[in-house]
Amino acid sequence: MADVFIIAILSIICVIITHLVIKIVTVRRAFWGFPEPKYDKHWLHGHLPHYRAQGYVGQYLFDKWIEWTERYPKLFLNWVGPTSVRVVLNHPESIKKILKTADPKPLGYGDIYKHGLPWLGEGLLFAGGPKWKRSRRLLTPAFHFDILRPYVKVYKTCADHLVRNIHTLSEKGNSVEIFSLVSACTFDIILRCAFSYESNCQDLEQSNQYVNTVHDITKEWVHRNSSPWLFPDFIYFNTNRGRKFKKNCDYLHKIADEVIEKRREALENADVSSRKYLDFLDILLTAKDEDGQGMSKEYIRCEVDTFMFAGHDTTASAISWILLSLAEHPDFQRKCQDEIDKVVSETDSGELEWKDLERLEFLSQCIKEGMRLHSPVPGILRQNLDPIIIDNHVIPARSNILISLYCLHHNPLVWGADHMEFKPERFTKENQHNLNPFSYCPFSAGPRNCIGQHFAMAEEKVVLASLLQRFTFSVDKSHKIEKRWAAVMRTQTGIKLFVSARTNNDDESPTC
């Protein structure tokens, strides 16, 4: 009997090993001849050790990505274990062939986005096929310019609160950690613009649980993505990390459900047209397709969670990194301030309005260059439905394709040998005209581009203008700033800057 048991176990092991060997041979044959940094590849783990070299996805990996991009400027492979491979695209002509399609994002075993499903569900960010097309069609009206124009006053109100917070924290002359303050401000903006909800999330006396939970959950999301032993759900959700992730998801879902239910009740008792402006949730709750079908409660929750995350974290990252770059380049900062002062002085109300934002040309150049240099969203994954030829290599159907926006924005073939330098003149009208449209994609591009990019750009302009109108920022050289990928581009220890009130502003109030 014991012999039969041993034979059975050995047979199972042989089947598993045979299956694994066949899969390894099949995958490696499919990608034979593709450029890859073999000198940096572990025999078993592939390139995964570079993703975990610091215990998290950080500066080390970004430096490696640039090194690999300089060696392989069109595409290269990254192996995540012996059988899983990502095709990394890093050149405009390479990524164009993927971004011009509506090919879905991979949601299979071990895929990055699959690990985000318990939190964000299959909303616009993750959905594919007919579900994505329907979502995009129903949500597009929420980002029409007529909807966005009234939001400028909301941006300004929240930015004024941020100004007061920075003024308070900088009074003693110490450097101020900017990232967390900006994150609270952009979250305040999302709550007001998307849900007409006024919170105390910017109060300095309180730690905002939602913002902190989003920060924790995004760090854990990226950690799991670089830990193959945590890919199986039955293992992960029985670990302490998995249980905490589930608890955090439940908390964020609870907040979203409360916001939705309050608005649903309000809509039943009031006419939407009587409000000052339509917000994102109004449109979600009232949207109907050509068949008269609205959105389900679960689907609305997915979109609310997605918008609350994507709508505040990415802009907080962009604004914070741009402030750092301006602090590192005082001449550019002064030029922005002079432009802002001039535009504001020529307005009737003394405050920026929607029509004034396009006049902030140099600030716009700095914003674009900051998002190129720091890439708030370092990369996005897609899965090609059909085989596709890129740089004379046939990528098999249903491959995992990583469009590395960070590599794209630091490709020396596109941006030159000085790609690590902050040079706003790259985005003058003349220079932009000469750029390949797919050279610069902070909001992605093509049919699956960021639906909220105009919202985000306007928000960044207003918040930065409010801050630069009141303050001058300089670098705290004692504080080491190191990039960390936690869904968006963060830092390991925040961004600390010295802040001084501008001497040409005679008002004692810190409110712009």
Tell me the binding residues for heme: 450
What's the 3-state SS for 258-270? HHHHHHHHHHHHC
Contact 271, 244 (CB under 8 A): no
Residue 417 CA to residue 435 CA, distance in Å, equals 16
Q: Which residues pair with residue 274 across a beta bridge?
A: none
Contact 131, 262 (CB under 8 A): no
Annotated binding site: 450
Which residue, chain included where needed, has tokens 């979600």? 284
**Helix H or strand E segment including 483:** strand 483-486
Contact 97, 75 (CB under 8 A): no
Q: Which residues pair with residue 379 across a beta bridge?
A: 404
Choose among 193, 148, 142, 443: nearest CA to 295: 142
Classify 79 as helix, strand or coil.
strand
Return the structure tokens found at 499. Answer: 């802040």
Residue 87's φ and ψ, nearest 5 degrees, are -90, 110
Q: Which residues pair with residue 26 across a beta bridge?
A: none
Q: How many helices (H) and strands (E) does the chain have?
A: 20, 11
Phi-psi region of 89 (alpha: psi -120 to 50; beta: other; left: phi over 0): beta
The one-letter amino acid code at 394 reads V
Residue 127 CA to residue 499 CA, distance in Å, equals 43
Residue 334 CA to residue 329 CA, distance in Å, equals 9
* Distances from the Cα of 385 to the Cα of 98, 102, 400, 438, angstroms: 10, 10, 10, 21
Tell me which DSSP letter residue 396 carries: P
Choose among 126, 112, 120: nearest CA to 248: 120
Contact 216, 222 (CB under 8 A): no
Radius of gyration of the chain (CA): 24
Classify 245 as helix, strand or coil.
helix
Residue 497 CA to residue 485 CA, distance in Å, equals 21
The CA-based diameter of the chain, rounded to the nearest angstrom, is 93
